[in-house]
A = this chain, B = another copy of it.
């Protein structure tokens, strides 16, 4: 079989990410890993989840829980999301909500709906590499989104046209960005809405970390600002908000959602119906029960734990990093982004680190659509104990200092 000749051109974009290999390091007891961008399993609301599965399977919904269900998603879950969204200024109805299998699937379906080959997606440098992975299957080009830049709208259009397509959307993670941990200030969000209006494109707001704020004042989601520009009429908005229970409750159930104008949601429902019929019925029911009972308590617990770890990591970086190394000071999320001195290569540093210091992190290049960012790295603190942080950052700081001295 000559499989290569049978594969579609988009298959050439399906490439193994080195990140995957890195995540395996988490299992090596001799490595202190800041690589994995995953929640701490010790925080999962196991009892509430176990109770919910038991309740669902012994209650009147037990048959429905195991049966096929509608592609839009479980109505009480969509109702819960509507109430949750209202708390952050997003007023919508259940018809504006599609349940997805994690917010990763939201990115896949949005790429599928919006991108023809050679169209352009606007992303920040760096951005979530899983978004690049999801979009890559639809063969777009990427152009750089630089918040508050003066680059005129025509320049984006011209570049997209030269690339053989049109600008279709701007993608961003405005809250506690993966990988930088940074929050887009309100002015940048308004700038992005202005740009999207000029270009008449969609905005994909990846809000996977929305609930994980540890300090500072909340900034309205882009969709909330978009709604405010349209007198609260969600049907006139251009922002597609992607949410997730993976960072607050548990990722293993694979439940996320998209909120947006019905024109788009209706198309996405059809896409989902064709692609996997619906997300797990029982898991949607269980997430609903867990959200209805312990969501606030659970989010408080997660916030307190991660907030402590973030502070410890920032303190350790201040204590152990040599001059010339810079890092972000996130107000939430799971990540700190480190910029190494110009010319130092994150990938090469990791290689040496795994041999000597035995500390793992993710080199920043993979998060850059143009392959730049060699002198950057992502540190995740979500699973890091005080002892790991103390020992790991001391060793990493020493390694970088040694490199600089060499």
Contact = CB atoms under 8 A, between A and B. Distances in A.
Contact of A14 (B238, B271, B281): B271
A369 B65 CA distance: 33
Contacts of A119: 8
Interface residues of A, number: 84
Interface of A: 1-3, 5-11, 14-17, 20, 38-39, 41-42, 44, 46, 49-50, 53-54, 57-58, 62-69, 100-102, 104-105, 108, 112-116, 119, 130, 133-134, 136-138, 168-169, 200-202, 236-238, 246, 250-254, 261, 263-264, 267, 270-271, 273-283
- The quantity of this chain's copies bound in the complex is 2
Given A67-B38, A252-B282, A282-B253, A2 B54 contact: no
Contacts of A102: 276-277
A201 B5 CA distance: 9
A137 B112 contact: yes
A39 B66 CA distance: 10
Given A20-B273, A275-B105, A169 B15 contact: no
Contacts of A58: 50
15 contacts: A1-B200, A3-B264, A3-B267, A7-B113, A8-B115, A9-B116, A10-B116, A14-B113, A38-B67, A44-B67, A68-B252, A102-B276, A104-B277, A130-B277, A251-B281
Given A58-B50, A105-B276, A251 B68 contact: yes
Nearest to A24: B70
A202 B6 contact: yes
Q: Which of A54, A57, A275: most chain B CB closer than 10 A?
A: A275
A279 B101 CA distance: 8
